[in-house]
Amino acid sequence: MDHFLYRDGALYAEDVPISEIAAAVGTPFYCYSTATLERHFRLFDEALEGVDHLVCYAMKAASNQAILKTLAALGAGMDVVSGGEYARAIAAGVPGERIVFSGVGKTREEISAALTGGIRQFNVESEPEMEAINAVALELGKVAPITVRVNPDVDAKTHAKIATGKSENKFGIPISRARDVYAHAASLKGLKVIGIDVHIGSQLTELEPFELAYNKVAELTEQLRADGHEITRLDLGGGLGIPYERSNSAPPLPVEYGAMIKRVLGPQGCEIEIEPGRLIAGNAGIMVTEVIYVKEGEDREFLIVDGAMNDLIRPAMYEAHHDIVPVVEPVPGEEPARYDIVGPVCESGDTFAKGRALATSKAGDLIAFRSAGAYGAVMSSEYNSRPLIPEVLVNGDQFAVIRRRPSYEEMINRDSIPTWL
């Protein structure tokens, strides 16, 4: 459920008409709903009620400071994967003890910044990285809390580009080698082993792959304890999918996911961490664009909109589906038209949808791409020298620009000219 609904014939974000925001900030823009962000965070938090837990929002999904502050105020932790994300989390007021550091290639600088600023744990992805964390910790006179990310060799049954739990993927250490790696970790004085980490992929639409992976984690917990390690925390990653197509059956709910976690891992008595990103932010955001032209093709009509692949890359990159809806509610019973909905960028890949049913549209109409809150703005670029589009946050009947559109001048002035020119 989200808070982008039609009311009196027009699309609203909570209590604000989308057309009002468009008039104020221009198109295209991203618009997020505070109520939806909060609701989704609480769904996870409540799903794990009864067990010691922390929901660490995977901020790679949407990392605007206002979004982080909204979630942090509810007690969210953060899952970060770079020095930049760590700095963003700290800047949003998230205490170090609520920040976990994931990612396959943490640099010494990033490790040092996190150890100095405070960190809940590093999720270690390889032995060389483990040694680097140990070395930096010893240099700083600190002890780094770690889990080791294990790769359980489980098929997440999702798009190949976002599956991470098969042995051919670059992530984690093979679970078959885990005991050796933990023995190695225990011998390093700059590290304190506290648990196990696993993350098998994103946009999972079934619980089964999670359950397979978590069963392996349960088994490993027991083996490692028998080997003498103190395993007190299990980080179970993110990955629960969202309904991108309203017409399709929906993925499992957080409450079902939470119940499965408690059933499979409850007996281990560990503190549970999860790292959801998409489910918190995805349906809490839309991208609003304006139709520039309706163009007659040989055998089809193109709707050319002012948003493009540089603003929302998911359709071009993952063949992802986003529901696309008009901002003026279609008249009930009216036969929709079919359009190829495309952006102005000079690539055929700049196509959001082909043959999509949409109310008959004309230049100047506003249309919204739903489920664009996660992996939308964060993956945008200025390709074709199109400035990054603004982000707006709605809260009840108020809205605020939380990242403004840079001017052409600002965009150009980031370049510098060498003295010989």
The CA-based dihedral angle spanning residues 275, 208, 202, 345, taken in that order and rounded to the nearest 10 degrees: -150
> Within positions 32 to 51, which residues make up the interface with ligand LLP, using CB under 6 A?
none
Q: Which of 239, 254, 307, 326 binds ligand LLP (CB under 6 A)?
A: 239
203 touches ligand LLP (CB under 6 A): yes
Least CB distance from residue 149 to ligand LLP, whole Å?
Answer: 8
DSSP 61: G
User: In angstroms, rounded to a whole number, what is the distance separating the alpha carbons of residues 382 and 394?
Assistant: 25
Q: Of the two residues 276 and 390, which places its CB atom closer to ligand LLP in the complex? A: 276
Taking contact as CB under 6 A, which single stretch among the options 46-54, 234-242, 336-344, 354-362 is the one that binds ligand LLP?
234-242
User: In angstroms, rounded to a whole number, what is the distance separating the alpha carbons of residues 291 and 178?
Assistant: 54
Are the beta carbons of 199 and 164 closer than 8 angstroms? yes
Q: Of the two residues 80 and 394, which places its CB atom closer to ligand LLP in the complex? A: 80
- With CA atoms as reference, report the closest residue to 84 among 66, 60, 61, 67: 60
User: In angstroms, rounded to a whole number, what is the distance separating the alpha carbons of residues 112 and 245?
Assistant: 43
SS3 167: coil
Count residues near ligand LLP (CB under 6 A).
20
Q: Which of 14, 38, 45, 79 binds ligand LLP (CB under 6 A)?
A: 79
> Within positions 290 to 319, which residues make up the interface with ligand LLP, using CB under 6 A?
314, 318
User: In angstroms, rounded to a whole number, what is the distance separating the alpha carbons of residues 288 and 326?
Assistant: 9
Q: Of the two residues 88 and 199, which places its CB atom closer to ligand LLP in the complex? A: 199
Strand 144-151 relative to strand 121-124, pairing: parallel
> Within positions 250 to 279, which residues make up the interface with ligand LLP, using CB under 6 A?
275-279
Are the beta carbons of 397 and 15 closer than 8 angstroms? yes
Phi then psi dihedrals of residue 117, to 5 deg: -80, -15
The tokens 């823009």 sit on which residue? 29
238 touches ligand LLP (CB under 6 A): yes
- With CA atoms as reference, report the closest residue to 279 among 55, 72, 66: 55
Least CB distance from residue 317 to ligand LLP, whole Å?
Answer: 7
* Residue 414 labelled as part of a binding site: no
Least CB distance from residue 353 to ligand LLP, whole Å?
Answer: 16
* Residue 32 labelled as part of a binding site: no
* Residue 86 labelled as part of a binding site: no
Asked about 346 being catalytic, the answer comes back as yes
104 touches ligand LLP (CB under 6 A): no
String of b and e for 208-239 (b: at least 16 CB within 10 Å)?
A: ebbbbbbebbbebbeebeeeebebebbbbbbb
> Within positions 126 to 185, which residues make up the interface with ligand LLP, using CB under 6 A?
162
* Residue 343 labelled as part of a binding site: no
* Enzyme catalytic residues: 346
Binding residues for pyridoxal 5'-phosphate: 239, 275-278, 375
- Binding residues vs ligand LLP (CB under 6 A): 58, 61, 79, 102, 162, 199, 202-203, 237-239, 275-279, 314, 318, 374-375
Binding residues: 239, 275-278, 314, 318, 347, 375
